[in-house]
Amino acid sequence: MWAQTIETSKVLPSTIHKVSKIFQPINIIPKAGHVKTALTSKSQRLMLDLGIIRQASPGSFHFLPLGVRALEKLTLLVDKQMSKIGAQKVIFPSLTNSNLWKSTGRLQDFGAELFTLKDRHDHIYVLSPTHEEAVADLIASVSQMSYKEFPLKLYQTTNKYRDEIKPRFGLMRGRQFIMKDLYSFDVDIEKAKETYAEVCECYNSIFNEIGVDYIKVVGSCGAMGGSLSHEYHYKADIGEDKIVSCSRCGFNANAELAGYDKCSQCGASDSITVHAGIEVGHTFLLGDKYSKALNANYLTEKGKSVPLQMGSYGLGITRILAAAIEFLAKENEIRWPISFAPYTLIIIPPKKGSKEEEVGSYLVQRVHSALESIDSLKDNMLLDDRIQMTIGRRMVDARRVGYPYVIVIGAKSMEKNPIFELHNLTNDQVLYLNEEGLLVYLRKHLEMNK
């Protein structure tokens, strides 16, 4: 929106964020000579068109300010849930020694999908897509870890890298992406299963808090190894996974694992439906594949050194962002889950020169400070201060970017008890409310989304 001429009224409140100040190059075709982006999904097109992201090279994107806000909200939501299960935040380096990957056989298994580089001493490093090797090596480096020190859960939210043969769907299959990866360590398989169940429960809470419908399915362990695996999917036509659901017993599985003909749980064949899904989370009970290969051991009560039982749990942070938009957006308008919309609410004041202009400026201040009493709106409201533009034109923009709530200060604001127009884009409602009514409605709806 930023790429427009601005005239800002001086009486607008200074603490509210302003549309005119946001770097958000909209609908601008890259100049000749610059990367032309192949559009392969709705979310990619909308996020590029509306200045949320911008392509840097194939499968690699700049996050612009609105995109960063959404990412940081999602990251914080995940952090809070992680701390509830006692998971501790760490940061592993992106570059991991290729010898670690040789030890587990994954240098070969991943093959051309790994980005590798040589340092000036000709040592080879992997630009890591995941960190099972790194974390197992970290634990192995700590000597004499006692059985009393487990379970241990370490996680990070960092950039991951994968040399995709064909990057596509924007953030959904990129070459650089942000992943939250959690690793658990337990003393035996029973305890490891308990931890696995606890983390799955936490993932359910995360996906519920995000608020986009998801399906949890039995997944395949694939190249990761291990004995048990679940996947979390968002439904979308462009999804690369096929999910098989049985309406009789409620069983869901990845078709890779279950096949299409009959339900592998209840045996029924007339109750199977298949839909496309985007994998946004994946959990693995790994066993000792990595701990054995890299000597991540602990000391038993009797002083015996035994390999730890590991779990690995991924959440595709940038992928959740894109997949949520893919699932929620209209053809030409983004819709965000309220949990990580860049701003929860935008206020559109009257046009410059209109008869409502003066009272409008005053009402912006009043409404803004009244709404700040709602915790989740603090630092979370935007003002469309481009008052040289009509309300209608700015409403079009607000709908396209998809701020969940839009407050218009229009003709009815001149009344003695001023009436505001509230658009709830999530359920397509328009309401006419006075200040008290706005507060009651928004408090109720935002508390509901907690």
**What is 130-193 written as a DSSP string?**
--HHHHHHHHHHS---BGGG-SEEEEEEEEEE---SS-BTGGGB-SEEEEEEEEEEESSHHHHH
Tell me which residues in 104-143 interact with its own copies (CB under 8 A): 112, 115-117, 119-120, 125, 127, 134, 137-138, 140-143
**What is 213-260 written as a DSSP string?**
--EEEE---GGG--SEEEEEEEE-TT-SEEEEEETTT--EEEHHHH-S
Paired tokens of 187? 């003393």
Per CB under 8 A, 152 contacts its own copies: yes
| Smallest distance from its own copies to CB 262, Å | 40
Q: Which of 13, 25, 211, 437 binds its own copies (CB under 8 A)?
A: 25
Q: Using an 8 Å Cβ cutoff, are 343 and 403 in contact?
A: yes
Q: Using an 8 Å Cβ cutoff, are 169 and 220 in contact?
A: no
Per CB under 8 A, 424 contacts its own copies: no
Neighbours of 347 (CB within 10 A): 27
Per CB under 8 A, 301 contacts its own copies: no
Per CB under 8 A, 299 contacts its own copies: no
Per CB under 8 A, 236 contacts its own copies: no
Per CB under 8 A, 365 contacts its own copies: no
State the amino acid at position 340 in one-letter form: F
Measured from the CB atom, the residue of 22 and 419 that comes closer to its own copies is 22
Per CB under 8 A, 169 contacts its own copies: no
The number of residues in the chain equals 450
| Smallest distance from its own copies to CB 63, Å | 4
| 377: helix, strand or coil | helix
Measured from the CB atom, the residue of 160 and 230 that comes closer to its own copies is 160
Residue 183 phi, psi (nearest 5): -125, 135
| Smallest distance from its own copies to CB 163, Å | 5
Tell me which residues in 41-100 interact with its own copies (CB under 8 A): 54, 56-57, 60-65, 67-69, 71, 86, 88-97
Q: Using an 8 Å Cβ cutoff, are 182 and 212 in contact?
A: no
Per CB under 8 A, 10 contacts its own copies: no
Measured from the CB atom, the residue of 108 and 159 that comes closer to its own copies is 159
Per CB under 8 A, 238 contacts its own copies: no
**What is 119-147 written as a DSSP string?**
-TT--EEEE-S--HHHHHHHHHHS---BG
Strands 88-89 and 152-161: parallel
Q: Which of 11, 30, 194, 355 binds its own copies (CB under 8 A)?
A: 30
Per CB under 8 A, 145 contacts its own copies: yes
Q: Which residues bind its own copies (CB under 8 A)?
A: 2-3, 5-6, 21-23, 25, 28-31, 34-35, 54, 56-57, 60-65, 67-69, 71, 86, 88-97, 112, 115-117, 119-120, 125, 127, 134, 137-138, 140-146, 148-149, 152, 154, 158-159, 161, 163, 165, 175-176, 295
